[in-house]
Structure 1
Amino acid sequence: MTALHADRRGTGPRLALVHGFTQTRRCWGPIAEDLAADHELVLLDAPGHGRSADVALDLVDGGRALADTAGPATFVGYSMGGRFALHAALERPAQVRALVLVGATAGIESADERAQRREDDEARARRIEEIGVDRFLDEWLALPLFAGLSPEAACREERRENTAAGLASSLRLAGTGTQLPSWHRLGELSMPVLVVAGADDEKFLTLGTRLAEAVGGDVEIAAIEGAGHTAHLEQPGRFLAVLRPWLAARGL
């Protein structure tokens, strides 16, 4: 078993939180503060990130490692973390009591588009290795995808814990271009699933709608008003107003 670093806090039903690319376990801000009041939180560093910087795993093995590290829990994953959490649910379903996906996808179906994304991620990996984490974060956080993040919510200082080698490894092994499409497997998910996207994040709202339709069963989708891709950090109050009642209704 490959162990990942995780910080644990709080008591109650267990929630495993899996961050996005260039973030770390410490990038959940007010979400973690609120949920730790009545939950046990397992704040994970994904492969290639934070104190798991030296762990090089693809999405399948990374999903297994996240599930094995956290133990039985409700998994909450954002973007890259959502893709890892989805693989945890597919590979270790007994460990995933419920699944919350924020700004996530089940993969790019077009082989040509996947190949192009791998090329883009390889170029980005080389860029990180060339200029280092600090300068790369300047470029990354300037992308339109993150325009809705306040300076505080961007958790720039926390992201500086990452290493160039770890982030480059993450892109090469667990970037979207490496993700084999799993749309055809979503019907295997028997646990409750909540799909969340920012109302202003048209791409991932469309993907989220498709995810929810493919899962079937106990599944809900929620659009967070006034938020883009990083919905839980852009509008933490509105995100919690969706998440908390959903968890409570299922005894989670």
Structure 2
Amino acid sequence: MNLTVNDRTYWVEDEGSGPPLLFLHGFTGSTNIWEEVKGHLPGFRMIRVDLPGHGKTGDIGVLSMEEVACDLKAMLQELNIERLSVAGYSMGGRTALFFASMYPDMVDRLILESASPGLRTVEERKERIRKDRNVIDLLENHGIEAFTDKWEELPLFESIKELPASRRHSLRKERLANDGSGLIASLEGMGTGVQPSLWDDLKTLDKPVCLIAGEKDAKYKKLNEEMAEIFPQAQLHLVKNAGHIPHLEKPDIFSEIVRQFMI
């Protein structure tokens, strides 16, 4: 369904009954990335949102993480949800962390998959903005297919090549369904380079946090090991034979981790 908050319209899917659990997708994704996980998690009210620039929400302008978190709060109020648990993958994990930091009284539990609190230094953020500018140039000058070809070749997604062809095709179709202008707006407003660092906020977020990363994803494995040392109440799960997208590569294992955490 379409839900309009703060003069912006988002695509939201609200299914099932039980404890509410909000799922936020990563860059180039949409609500569809959680379809297989949904089948493994009966007994929850599963709310999925297409974030700005993605899926059926599409290009609604350049929005900061803070603005998106504010919109999520308004959406949940429209759905009569006062408190819930939040799960996010990659960019969606950063968004979930922002939401929990801004509205801690609304969050019961936090599930972060292949996510980070951002980049620690100004220099790192400037370098990331420079790299994102190259991505934006590719989208502007060569279109979504050329961008997707390059995106799929990133070392971060190497383990995806081990998936069956049908699942790789579905993932590619999902990425190609996005609009280039929406992805550009997403990078400009919610990219890792432009968001403030939340590393200093981790120690004050005193609620149960489940950190999930793939064992093959060396970068995020290390990041999540660091995060686990800082969060007051964190548990870390490293998924064997998985890379950057455990919920896609090992949906049954990912879902069981979430289910056990939510009990």
TM (norm. structure 1) is: 0.92
Equivalent residue number for residue 14 of structure 1: 20
Asked if structure 2 preserves the Cα contact closer than 8 Å seen for 1:47 and 1:54, the reply is yes
1:97-150 Cα deviation digits (max 9, x unpaired): 211000111111121121010011011012112222233222212222112222
User: How far apart, CA to CA, are the structure 2 residues paired with 1:170 and 1:184?
Assistant: 24
Q: Does 1:111 align with 2:122?
A: yes
Which of 35, 41, 44 is equivalent to 2:46?
41
Aligned letter for 1:24?
Answer: S
Q: Does 1:58 align with 2:64?
A: yes
Gaps of at least 5 residues in structure 1 are none
User: How far apart, CA to CA, are the structure 2 residues paired with 1:182 and 1:230?
Assistant: 22
User: How far apart, CA to CA, are the structure 2 residues paired with 1:7 and 1:135?
Assistant: 30
Q: Following TM superposition, by how much is the alpha carbon of 1:73 offset from its aligned partner in structure 2, in angstroms?
A: 2.0
Which of 191, 197, 222 is equivalent to 1:206?
222
Which of 128, 132, 137 is equivalent to 2:143?
132
Q: Does 1:143 align with 2:159?
A: no
Q: Within 5 Å, which residues of 2 pair with 1:188-203?
A: 188-203=204-219
% identical aligned pairs: 33
Aligned letter for 1:207?
Answer: L
Q: Following TM superposition, by how much is the alpha carbon of 1:170 offset from its aligned partner in structure 2, in angstroms?
A: 0.6
Equivalent residue number for residue 24 of structure 1: 30
Aligned letter for 2:67?
Answer: D
Equivalent residue number for residue 170 of structure 1: 186
Aligned letter for 1:232?
Answer: H
User: How far apart, CA to CA, are the structure 2 residues paired with 1:165 and 1:13?
Assistant: 36
Gaps of at least 5 residues in structure 2 are none
- Number of paired residues? 246
Moved more, 110-119 or 61-70: 61-70
Equivalent residue number for residue 197 of structure 2: 181
Asked if structure 2 preserves the Cα contact closer than 8 Å seen for 1:67 and 1:96, the reply is no
Asked if structure 2 preserves the Cα contact closer than 8 Å seen for 1:63 and 1:86, the reply is no
Q: Following TM superposition, by how much is the alpha carbon of 1:160 offset from its aligned partner in structure 2, in angstroms?
A: 2.9
User: How far apart, CA to CA, are the structure 2 residues paired with 1:133 and 1:6?
Assistant: 24
Asked if structure 2 preserves the Cα contact closer than 8 Å seen for 1:46 and 1:66, the reply is no
Equivalent residue number for residue 222 of structure 1: 237
- Secondary structure of 2:38's match? helix
Asked if structure 2 preserves the Cα contact closer than 8 Å seen for 1:4 and 1:65, the reply is no
Q: Does 1:85 align with 2:91?
A: no
Equivalent residue number for residue 237 of structure 1: 252
